[in-house]
Structure formats: C-alpha cells, structure tokens
A and B are shown apart, each in its own frame.
Chain A
Amino acid sequence: MLFEVTDKPLDPARLFQHVRQDAAGAVLLFYGVVRDNNMGRNVEYLEYEAYPEMATKVMTQLVGELREKWEITDVAIQHRTGRLEIGETSLLVAVSSPHRREAFEAGHWLVDRFKDVVPVWKKEVFEGGEEWIEGDRH
C-alpha cells in the first residue's frame, strides 16, 4: 500500500506504476476534483487540512478491511492539502485486482469510507464567504 498526504500536485502516473502488477488485469484510478459549485454557491477555491499521522493509521486499517472483503492486488492513495483551485485534484485512489469487478467495488467502498473516517477537512471559499464543510453536509 502507498499512502501520502502532500501539499504538492498529485501524481497519477506514480500511483498507476505502484499498483500495476503482472498478476493484476484491472487498475481503477479515481480522481476527486475541485468543482466550481456547491449547494448553489459559486466556489472560488478550497483549502484542505489533514492530520497526517492519524490519516496514515486510519488508512492502513481501512485497507486491512478492504482486503478481507475483496481480492485486491494493491492500493495507492494520495490526498493533497493546502489551497486547491477549481479543476485541481484533491484525492487519488488507485486499486488493482486480478479482475475488474473487484477493483470497481473495492475502489467505490474505499473512497466512501475514506470520506467518512480519514481525518481530512475542507474549507470552501465561495463568493461572499467561507465555511468548513462538515461530514453531515453534502
């Protein structure tokens, strides 16, 4: 498993290289991207903050759970912190598996769980204000 929290632009090619192996016929690569609107507001940019030491521990636990549910070859995740502009990538999740179904299902599950429990926070700066977006809001 590869897991990184970084304030630098994310590197999908590196994640692909990490999870691609000869025994894996499927690689799923998910991009979470900053969009220009939320709850009817025009978003200007986002600021992400993380608790990296804990994020690493929680992520390791999640990947352990994931491996009990699906036959997965490898997993790689990067999350960016700091100021992100519209269109920039905040999250990359790469999952490889022998066959495609496991990669799709495990990737979907992992992105959802990541959002629920990994300690990363997002502040939305929009026209006319700013707000920390919290988990019970969509």
Chain B
Amino acid sequence: MGTVKVRLFARLAELAGTRSEDVEIGEGLRACDVYRLLEERHPQIAGLADKVMYAVNQEYASAEAPLREGDELALIPPVSGGRDAV
C-alpha cells in the first residue's frame, strides 16, 4: 500500500524522540489511526491524541481524514499563541 511521512513538532517531537517517521498505510487508514500506530512505537505520546490537530500535505485536516500513499501527515500540538501571549 505504500507509506506516508509523519512529521512531529514541539512537545510531541521531544516526547517521541523523533521529528519524522515513515508509516505503512493500509486501506482506509485515517490520520487518527496513524496516531495510534505511533503511540505503540512511542508510548511517551500516549494520551495526548485529543489535544493534537492534524495536517495533511500542509493543510489542516480532520482526525478522520483518509490518507493516501505519499501524503505528508503532520501532528500539530496546540500552537504557541493564545491571545495576549505576546
């Protein structure tokens, strides 16, 4: 079926100890399924799935977004802003 490239950032990258990983995808695999696969490889990121947003090919996507071979899936922890943060 091929692979997708997964990119991790910020707290997720630190916890997992990696910034980029290839994941084999099967038929109908969704963004949230990839997170579960990564949780198995990197138990340190377990339990954070509900705080993570997804981007497929650099665009925000839903957790149910289906993936295709060659896609780039990014796991996006909450961004740094927040009103009045500056």
Q: Which applies to chain A's interface (DSSP): helix, strand, loop or mixed?
A: mixed
B50 located at the interface, meaning its Cβ lies under 8 Å from any Cβ of chain A in the complex: no
Note all chain B residues with C-beta closer than 8 A to A138.
82-85
CA distance A48 to B80 in the complex (A): 9
Q: State A138–B78 Cα separation when bound (angstroms).
A: 12
Tell me the bound Cα distance from A97 to B58 in angstroms. Answer: 30
Which residues, 32 to 84 on A, are CB-close (under 8 Å) to B?
32-33, 48-49, 51, 53-54, 57-58
CB-based contact B78/A134 at 8 Å: yes
**Closest CB in chain A relative to B52 CB, distance in Å:** 11
Whether B85 pairs with A119 at a CB distance below 8 angstroms is: no
Q: Which residue of B lies closest to A130 (CB)?
A: B14
Of the candidates B11, B14, B76, B83, the one whose C-beta lies within 8 Å of that of A119 is: B76
Shortest CB-to-CB span from A121 to chain B, Å, is: 4
Q: Output the nearest chain B residue to A31 by Cβ-Cβ distance.
A: B86
B79: min CB distance to chain A, Å: 5
| Min C-beta distance of A12 to chain B, whole Å | 15
CA distance A12 to B48 in the complex (A): 38
Q: Which residue of A lies closest to B81 (CB)?
A: A115
Q: How far is the CA of A120 from the CA of B14 in the complex (A)?
A: 15
The number of chain B residues with a CB under 8 A from chain A is: 23
| A122 nearest CB neighbor, chain B only | B80
Judge if A18 is at the interface, Cβ distance under 8 Å.
no
Q: How far is the CA of A112 from the CA of B79 in the complex (A)?
A: 12
- The contact of B86 among A58, A111, A119, by CB within 8 Å, is A111
Picked from B55, B74, B82, the residue with its CB within 8 Å of the CB of A115 is: B82
Interface 1/0s, chain A 93-134, versus B by CB < 8 A? Answer: 000000000000000000110111111111100000000111
8 closest Cβ contacts across the A-B interface?
Answer: A115-B81, A122-B80, A121-B10, A134-B78, A54-B58, A135-B78, A32-B86, A132-B11
A interface list, Cβ under 8 A from B: 32-33, 48-49, 51, 53-54, 57-58, 90-91, 111-112, 114-123, 132-138
- A54-B55, A116-B81 known; 6 new pairs, CB 8 Å cut-off, are A51-B55, A115-B81, A115-B82, A121-B10, A135-B78, A136-B82
